């Protein structure tokens, strides 16, 4: 990098001057100066060599950063997460919006966010005057009814109590799983006024991906595992999978890959078992010291759909191999994962894995991103955005909205036979 070259050049000049001065003078002050410069030079040299990124990868980091900063929906929608000290309103007119959680998400009545009026304050939302409740007797007074749209029938929903009441569609399951095919979403047409999902689409009001790369304020070189730690991994591919007949062709692909390289399958669909009592994530954490790669194969192949299957290994010392319908480069740091779509055949992918097994320096490049980025869950920020919208008297809400056409597997997903064709399996 030319900036570094210039820096080294300047250091060299300073050093030369110091040495010349040293040779001419015997005073202690000059010695001190020399020592100081020598130490500074060492520090700079060490920092430069730590930030070990080649020009091409650096360029891609910058592109990702621009993508995050610029005109993206991300910025538009979840930009409100920042903290604002003087947001504290003391006036008697402070009006709270009431949000009623109608059903549950991931077995949680409070959708994992919490209830009460402090929730958004604790999250440092810039607009935080919203209170959350699970008490259905508050339906009449609710400004918004918050609904997890999965597996619901119209009869499961309350009647709208007044013309201003807002019905929010919250969805993190794929359209293959939650779309028209289950026969229920179509009964929910003409219900919702707001959408809160992971889908990057004009009809998404609150766009909040589960997790995405966020640039660190200061680089953190120690975040990269050492070569020694990586070299101690003795096994190649780990896979923990328990739904063996999903909407994706992940089983077919995994079994094909197993013809070329060892793939250790844990869970219902495999021959290995996690230690009893360990959740998948704990099991993965425990195995992450032994394995190099993790098969992050999603259960559906849909636009923008990716889950903790790819995010968890990124938090551990595993490189995810992805099968899914999202554009992973849009969300994840460059060189942090291996996308099977980049290989013309399963055998080619296997060759790449074996190559990396024998070259720890190349393998370690998949961890470089860690000094510049971290993976953040963006979903909580969506609740800030919701409160902001409810407080905006000018917001254009959806009316007579066809949720069925929005969460449409035909438009957003590849079915199994289409995937078999794309991945050239049978």
Ligand X SMILES: *[C@@H]1O[C@H](CO)[C@@H](O)[C@H](O)[C@H]1NC(C)=O
66 is a contact residue toward ligand X (CB under 6 A): no
Position among 220, 226, 418, 422 found at the interface with ligand X (CB under 6 A): 418
Assess contact for 298 and 250: CB atoms under 8 A: yes
Closer Cβ to ligand X, 18 or 390, answer by number: 390
| Binding span for ligand X by CB under 6 A among 13-21, 224-232, 309-317, 413-421 | 413-421
CA-closest candidate to residue 205, choices 399, 414, 64, 68: 399
94 is a contact residue toward ligand X (CB under 6 A): no
67 is a contact residue toward ligand X (CB under 6 A): yes
- Residue entry with tokens 């028209």: 180
Among positions 183-212, residues that touch ligand X (CB under 6 A) are 190, 193
Closer Cβ to ligand X, 6 or 259, answer by number: 259
| Binding span for ligand X by CB under 6 A among 33-41, 133-141, 292-300, 391-399 | 391-399
362 is a contact residue toward ligand X (CB under 6 A): no
| Binding span for ligand X by CB under 6 A among 127-135, 220-228, 368-376, 390-398 | 390-398
Position among 286, 359, 362, 424 found at the interface with ligand X (CB under 6 A): 286
312 is a contact residue toward ligand X (CB under 6 A): no
Helix spans in 83-166 (H)? 119-122
Q: Least CB distance from residue 167 to ligand X, whole Å? A: 6
Position among 124, 187, 280, 345 found at the interface with ligand X (CB under 6 A): 124
Q: Least CB distance from residue 21 to ligand X, whole Å? A: 48
400 is a contact residue toward ligand X (CB under 6 A): yes
Determine phi and psi for 129, rounding to 5 degrees. -85, 70
CA-closest candidate to residue 392, choices 121, 206, 210, 124: 206
Q: At CA 144, angle to CA 105 and CA 200, rounded to 5?
A: 60
- Cα(254)–Cα(258) distance, rounded to whole angstroms? 6
114 is a contact residue toward ligand X (CB under 6 A): no
Closer Cβ to ligand X, 2 or 394, answer by number: 394
Position among 357, 415, 420, 425 found at the interface with ligand X (CB under 6 A): 415
Residues in Cβ contact with 168 at an 8 Å cutoff, skipping those fewer than 6 apart = 99, 144, 145, 146, 147, 192, 193, 194, 195, 196, 386
Instruction: Collect contacts of 133-138 with beta carbons under 8 A, ≥24 apart.
Output: 133/98, 133/99, 133/100, 133/101, 134/100, 134/101, 134/109, 134/110, 135/100, 136/100, 136/102, 138/98, 138/100
What is the H or E stretch that residue 296 is in?
strand 291-297
- Cα(144)–Cα(157) distance, rounded to whole angstroms? 13
- Cα(239)–Cα(297) distance, rounded to whole angstroms? 9
95 is a contact residue toward ligand X (CB under 6 A): no
Site size for ligand X (CB under 6 A)? 29
Position among 330, 357, 376, 405 found at the interface with ligand X (CB under 6 A): 330
Edge-to-edge strands, sheet with 338-339: 263-266, 235-240, 291-297, 319-323, 338-339
Contacts with ligand X by CB under 6 A lie at 67, 71, 76, 83, 123-124, 163-164, 190, 193, 265, 270-271, 275, 278, 286, 327, 329-330, 392-394, 397, 399-400, 410, 415, 417-418
């Amino acid at each position: 990098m030319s900036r570094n070259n210039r820096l080294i050049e300047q250091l060299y000049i300073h050093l030369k001057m110091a040495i010349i001065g040293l040779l001419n003078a015997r005073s202690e002050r000059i010695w001190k100066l020399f020592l100081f410069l020598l130490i500074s030079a060492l520090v700079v040299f060490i920092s430069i060599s730590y930030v070990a990124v080649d020009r091409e990868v650096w360029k891609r980091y910058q592109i990702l950063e621009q993508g995050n900063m610029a005109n993206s929906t991300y910025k538009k929608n979840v930009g409100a997460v920042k903290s604002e000290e003087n947001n504290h309103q003391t006036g008697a007119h402070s009006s709270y919006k009431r949000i009623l959680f109608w059903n549950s998400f991931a077995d949680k009545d409070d959708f994992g966010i919490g209830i009460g009026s402090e929730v958004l304050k604790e999250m440092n939302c810039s607009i935080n005057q919203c209170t959350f409740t699970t008490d259905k007797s508050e339906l009449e007074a609710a400004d918004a009814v918050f609904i997890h749209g999965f597996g619901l029938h119209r009869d499961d929903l309350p009647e709208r109590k007044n013309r201003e009441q807002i019905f929010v569609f919250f969805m993190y399951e794929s359209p293959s799983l939650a779309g028209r095919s289950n026969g229920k979403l179509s009964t929910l047409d003409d219900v919702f006024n707001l959408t809160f999902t992971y889908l990057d689409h004009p009809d998404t009001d609150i766009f909040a991906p589960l997790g995405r790369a966020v640039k660190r304020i200061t680089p953190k070189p120690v975040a990269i595992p050492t070569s020694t730690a990586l070299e101690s991994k003795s096994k190649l591919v780990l896979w923990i999978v328990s739904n063996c007949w999903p909407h994706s062709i992940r089983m077919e692909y995994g079994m094909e890959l197993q013809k070329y390289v060892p793939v250790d399958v844990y869970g219902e669909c495999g021959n290995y078992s996690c230690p009893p009592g360990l959740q998948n994530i704990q099991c993965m954490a425990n195995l992450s010291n032994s394995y190099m790669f993790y098969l992050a194969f999603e259960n559906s192949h849909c636009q923008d759909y990716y889950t903790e299957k790819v995010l968890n290994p990124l938090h551990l010392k595993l490189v995810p191999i992805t099968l899914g319908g999202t554009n992973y480069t849009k969300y994840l740091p460059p060189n942090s994962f291996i996308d099977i779509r980049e290989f013309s055949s399963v055998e080619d992918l296997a060759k790449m894995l074996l190559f990396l097994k024998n070259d720890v320096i190349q393998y370690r490049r998949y961890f470089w991103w860690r000094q510049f980025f971290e993976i953040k869950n963006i979903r909580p920020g969506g609740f800030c955005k919701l409160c902001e919208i409810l407080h905006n008297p000018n917001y254009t809400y959806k009316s007579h909205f066809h949720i069925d056409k929005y969460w449409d597997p035909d438009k957003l997903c590849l079915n199994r036979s289409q995937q078999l064709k794309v991945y050239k399996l049978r």
